[in-house]
Each structure stands twice: as structure tokens, then as C-alpha cells.
């Protein structure tokens, strides 16, 4: 994939071992590297080639440690081989990053090995298989030639920026008020659940809590999430939206 090659390229020196053989990096390696004047702790990890459950021996423990590295990180740069079709395993790693609530930069590597036809198919694969990760920051690079490796720093900063964004309660509720007015929740069995109030409970990743007058359709929650992204950006970060429905008290 080129994870170790990319780290060496941004560090401008050979810090970690690169080899043609798969499974070269076994234990995660921490390296402090300055990029565009900012010092980052990069963790170079083993690739994950199989589901953890299906991997055995070395590969099993390497996968566990890679998952540990995802948990330690604030932003994950997932390096995929752009010259080959996007794999199930790539998708599982994106999912793992999303579920762990980390910011995500997808680096489509080995760009030097892609021709026009391959790039055409890659675009189709991104449209078809990566819609769920439309929010990720993406860069097309070559760790070998150095093509666009200078875009890694800005992509990391963009993702971290989204990850750490805090929307004031005032701004958030003004936004929610506009949504409720222009796109009210559909009526369900004669009732219309409403968003009463919202607050951002957390950053890293941005986590919103909506207080509502009844159960909200999952589709409406996704709609709110989409609008949040349109309004506030959040490029490179998962956004979590939780709903707390206030059930009406009976027999009053």
C-alpha cells in the first residue's frame, strides 16, 4: 500500500522499513515528524489484510495492534492502492475509523501506476462504494515520486479542524430552527415530532444531541446530519447525532 514509504517521504529520510513483501511493518512504530512547521506523532502500522477474526498468528496480533493505533490517533491516514480496485478490506478500515470516531484522510497512493482507464474506474468505485465516506478528506499521491505528498499536511489539518469544530448553542439552534421551518418532520400517526432544542455535547468527533418531542425517523436524523455538513463543513470527520425524545407524561 505504501504506508511506510509515505512516512519516509514526509519525513524526508528513511525512518521506517519499506519492502516489496507484504507484512513488512508488524509492530506500530511511532515517529515524530514535522510537516509544514507542525510536529506530528505518526504511527506507522501493519496493514490489515483480513478480518481480525479470520487472521491467524502474526497477522492476528498485527491487526489488533493496528486497531489499537486507530484508537490512539486523532486522525487516521488510510493509505489505499489506487492502482488496484478498492477492496472490502479498505472499506472495513474506513468503517473502523468512523466507528472509533477518528478523523479520516484517505490517501489514494501509487498514483504513478494509474493510467486514464484506471482513474476512470477508480472514480466509479468512489461513487459506488465510498458514498458512506464522502465526508473523508481525500488526496491522490505517490509515495515513490512524491506527487502531491505536500497535500498531506493540509488534508490532516482540514480533517483535524472538522474534528475539533465547536458550534455555539446559539448558532446551532438558529440552524435547527431554519431546518424545522423549511423541512418539518413528516407526520406519523397524526403526530408531528419536532426538534425542540439541540446542543453540541462533544468535539473530537463533533457529537450533537437533539431534544425532540417524540421519536424521530432515522431518515430525518440523516437529513439533519447532511444539512449540518452543508452548513458547517466537517470535512474529514465523522459527525454523530443522538436523539433524546421527550415522551409525554400520561394521565395528567
Ligand X SMILES: Nc1nc2c(ncn2[C@@H]2O[C@H](COP(=O)(O)OP(=O)(O)OP(=O)(O)O)[C@@H](O)[C@H]2O)c(=O)[nH]1
Residues in contact with ligand X by the rule CB under 6 A? 1-5, 18-20, 22-25, 46-47, 79, 109-110, 112-113, 142-144
Nearest approach, Cβ of residue 214 and ligand X (Å): 49
Q: How many CA atoms lie within 13 A of 226 on its CB side?
A: 10
Nearest approach, Cβ of residue 5 and ligand X (Å): 3
Return the one option of Mg ion, ligand X, none that residue 176 interacts with (CB less than 5 to 8 A, by type).
Answer: none
- Residue 4 interacts with Mg ion (CB under 5 A)? yes
Q: How many CA atoms lie within 13 A of 57 on its CB side?
A: 2
Smaller CB distance to ligand X: residue 112 or 164? 112
d(CA 142, CA 54): 31
Smaller CB distance to ligand X: residue 19 or 134? 19
Smaller CB distance to ligand X: residue 22 or 131? 22
Smaller CB distance to Mg ion: residue 96 or 109? 109
Return the one option of Mg ion, ligand X, none that residue 113 interacts with (CB less than 5 to 8 A, by type).
Answer: ligand X
Q: Mind giving me the DSSP string for 73-104? A: -SEEEEEEETTSPPPHHHHHHHHHHHHHT-EE
Return the one option of ligand X, Mg ion, none that residue 112 interacts with (CB less than 5 to 8 A, by type).
Answer: ligand X
Nearest approach, Cβ of residue 108 and ligand X (Å): 10
What burial letters (b/e) apply to 63-100, b meaning 16+ CB within 10 Å?
A: beebbebbeebbbbbbbbbbbeebeeebeebbebbbeb
Angle at 88 between CA 83 and CA 92, to 5 degrees: 115
Nearest approach, Cβ of residue 93 and ligand X (Å): 12
Angle at 21 between CA 123 and CA 31, to 5 degrees: 80
d(CA 107, CA 188): 44
Binding to Mg ion by CB under 5 A, coded x per residue (else -) over 12-31, reads ------------xx------
Amino acid at each position: 500500500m505504501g504506508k511506510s514509504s509515505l512516512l519516509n517521504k514526509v519525513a524526508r529520510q528513511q525512518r521506517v522499513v519499506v519492502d516489496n513483501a507484504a507484512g513488512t511493518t508488524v509492530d506500530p512504530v511511532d515517529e515524530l515528524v514535522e510537516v509544514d512547521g507542525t510536529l506530528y506523532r505518526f504511527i506507522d502500522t501493519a496493514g490489515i489484510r483480513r478480518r481480525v477474526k479470520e487472521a491467524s498468528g502474526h497477522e492476528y496480533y498485527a491487526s489488533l495492534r493496528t486497531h489499537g493505533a486507530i484508537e490512539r490517533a486523532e486522525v487516521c491516514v488510510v493509505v489505499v492502492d489506487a492502482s488496484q480496485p478498492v477492496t472490502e478490506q479498505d472499506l472495513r478500515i474506513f468503517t473502523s475509523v468512523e466507528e472509533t470516531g477518528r478523523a479520516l484522510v484517505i490517501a489514494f497512493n501509487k498514483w504513478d501506476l494509474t493510467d486514464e482507464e484506471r482513474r476512470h474506474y477508480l472514480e466509479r468505485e468512489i461513487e459506488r462504494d465510498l458514498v458512506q465516506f464522502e465526508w473523508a478528506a481525500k488526496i491522490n499521491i505517490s509515495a515513490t515520486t512524491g506527487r502531491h505528498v505536500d497535500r498531506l499536511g493540509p488534508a490532516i489539518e482540514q480533517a483535524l479542524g472538522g474534528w475539533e469544530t465547536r458550534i455555539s448553542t446559539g448558532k446551532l439552534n438558529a440552524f435547527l430552527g431554519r431546518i424545522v421551518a423549511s423541512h418539518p418532520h413528516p407526520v406519523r400517526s397524526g403526530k408531528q415530532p419536532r426538534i425542540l432544542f439541540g446542543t453540541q455535547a462533544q468535539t473530537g468527533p463533533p457529537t450533537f444531541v437533539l431534544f425532540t418531542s417524540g421519536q424521530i425517523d432515522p431518515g430525518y436524523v440523516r437529513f439533519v446530519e447532511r444539512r449540518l455538513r452543508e452548513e458547517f463543513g466537517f470535512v474529514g470527520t465523522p459527525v454523530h447525532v443522538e436523539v433524546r425524545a421527550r415522551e409525554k407524561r400520561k394521565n395528567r
